[in-house]
Amino acid sequence: MRVRRTAAALTLAVAAVLGSTAAAPEAAPLEHFPTGTVTAADGRTVLADPSGRALQLRGFNVDKYDETTENDVRSIAAHGFTLIRVAVSWARLEPARDVYDRGETARLRRLLDWAGKYGLLAVIDFHQDVYGPKFGGGDRGIPLWATRDDGLPFTPDPHDWFAGYYQPAVQAAFRHLYDDPDLRRWQSDFYTRIARELRGHRALLGYDLFNEPFGPIDGDPGDPAVLAASAAELEQGRLAGMYRRLIASIRRADSRSWLFVEPTVLVGLGVPTRLPVFADPRAGAPRLGYAPHFYDTAVEAGQDWDPSDGFIEHYTAAVTAYPRAGRLPLLVGEWGPPDSRTPGNTLLVRRQVAAMTGFATAWTMWYWCRGSGGYCALGPDGRPAPGDGPAFGPYAAALAGLPGTEDYQDGVYRLTFTTGRPGWTEVVLPAGGHPARVSVDGARASAVVIEQPGPDRFGLAWILLPRTAPGTHVTVTVS
């Protein structure tokens, strides 16, 4: 049976199938807080809602530059996304030791309120670039009062900001942050304070504990072997210790949120993480996840992507073993080229979206803004930037079963999954698209309900298979 109705008229359609007590799907905004995980047939761990439906969360990074407005958050939701990653700064939230900026905290809560209003979940990203303000990072990162550089030199490179990590002063600052007992305690206090401020917020998914961690390098940073050895030593030692402290710090105030650990950026070079598997002190099942970034070094340096460089394959191999060993859901916290308009980078976006479907349960693209380049996902007209279209394509936000594959080619979307307990499968249809048609193979759909997309708003397709035996392989096609 195929039914096409608005969300307001769904109850009659569903009652005819399941009886008068059946719950109809709700109209957007979508809102799915994961309370656990399920394991897909290929072994990956996927976030799941209380009924056991596998969730796929997608969205964008926001607010590193304080420009995010309520209209931005509304627009992200209107395009069918369910997640934002919010970059926050220790230096701004605690500008002096034990002195918290009430205005900055209120601004953060206001952003979460907007997210909750429009049905988005938010990951709070404790952000740093080249440590903090002492080294040219504006007021972002670790505050001046928590920066110890031993008086060593720092010479910025205006053409390569990342090279600042290799400067002696920055190396010293990271070493002190990891090693000094008072800095450890102050950082832990800060995390506990923020967790106490935000705990229980309906939009709060959790925390990305430390953006793009870095540390001391013993030897020539231009030698890949030296970088790999230093990263392994950091992840197994100082960084692992930091993550254990920060997990405990947040858990002192918040047992509900998900906590995500990041590897070093060398994962982008195909270097697998050497992080250990962490314990979660919360009562009940752990809520820990893994949050690598997905950047090609050559593309970051301004080159157009070369599909023959093996980047997608090497990265995929590098990021999959650790979360499977630890049974961790994988969130790609940042990804996307500086300019998606060039031919290679346009292909890169499509290949990245396809690859993440196979290993990630969530992703947040960098970055939600309007512009003619510079990572902006929207053009000046507010439409998806040329080349970024695949990021705005259809996807399964919730599956009544275990995920299989997703593919979107030439206006046709195909989803495969293996059925579990009866429930609604929800497919997001991109804003501005043409009217959608849905077909189901492998099982008889008791109801297919389509909320068609509008020019500036996503649509939804709900599929119900209540009489299908668990373990049935199903293909859904949307055209």
Please report the DSSP string for 74-114 in residue order.
HHHHHTT--EEEEEE-HHHH-SBTTB--HHHHHHHHHHHHH
Rg (CA), the chain: 22
Q: Are 397 and 427 in contact (CB under 8 A)?
A: yes
Residue 194: enclosing H or E segment and its boundaries? Answer: helix 181-198
Specify if 369 maps to a domain. Answer: yes
Same domain, 16 and 102: no
Q: Determine the structural domain holding residue 461 and report its residue range.
A: 1-30+394-479
CB 439 within 8 A of CB 476: yes
Query: Within 13 A of 21's CA, how many CA atoms are on the CB side?
Result: 0
> Domain tally for the chain?
2
In a domain, 236, yes or no: yes
Residues 17 and 80 in one domain: no
Query: Amino acid identity, residue 259?
Result: L
- Among 368, 392, 416, identify where a domain stops: 392
Q: Are residues 204 and 224 in the same domain?
A: yes
What is the rounded distance in angstroms from the CA atom of residue 294 to the CA atom of residue 262?
Answer: 12
Encoded tokens for 165: 């990590």
pLDDT at 236: 97
Closest of 244, 259, 256, 250 to residue 125, by C-alpha: 259
Considering the domain architecture, whether residues 352 and 464 belong to the same structural domain is answered as no
CATH number of the domain to which 403 belongs = 2.60.40
Pairing state between β 362-365 and 288-290 = unpaired
Instruction: Give strand pairing partners of 311.
Output: none
Coil, helix or strand for 6? coil
Residue where a domain terminates, one of 346, 367, 392: 392
| pLDDT, tens digit only, all 479 positions of the chain | 233 333 333 333 333 334 333 454 554 445 689 999 999 989 999 999 999 999 999 999 999 878 899 999 999 999 999 999 999 999 999 999 999 999 999 999 999 999 999 999 999 999 999 999 999 877 889 999 999 999 999 998 988 889 999 999 999 999 999 999 999 999 999 999 999 999 999 999 999 999 999 999 988 988 999 999 999 999 999 999 999 999 999 999 999 999 999 999 999 999 999 999 999 999 999 999 999 999 999 999 999 999 999 999 999 999 999 999 999 999 999 999 999 999 999 999 999 999 999 999 999 999 999 998 889 999 999 999 999 999 999 999 999 999 999 999 988 999 999 999 999 999 999 988 788 999 999 999 889 999 999 988 999 999 999 989 999 999 999 99
Q: How far apart are the first and last CA of the chain?
A: 17
Q: How far is CA 269 from the centre of its chain?
A: 20
Please tell me the pTM assigned to this model: 0.94
Distance CA 240, CA 223 (A): 24
Nearest Cα residue to 379 out of 422, 339, 419, 416: 339
Helix residue ranges per DSSP H, 24-167: 70-78, 90-93, 102-117
DSSP letter assigned to residue 232: H
Q: Please give the Cα distance from 181 to 371 (Å, whole number).
A: 44
Rounded Cα distance between 427 and 438, Å, is 10
Q: What's the confidence (pLDDT) of residue 23?
A: 54
H/E stretch holding 69 reads none
- Asked if 289 and 188 sit in the same domain, the reply is yes
Same domain, 450 and 341: no
Residue whose structure tokens are 């969530």: 362
Q: How far apart are CA 396 and CA 403, in angstroms?
A: 9
Local structure of residue 57 (DSSP, 8 states): E
Residue found under tokens 């800060």: 190
Asked whether residue 387 falls in the same domain as residue 398, the answer is no
Of residues 431, 340, 367, 338, the one with CA closest to residue 67? 367
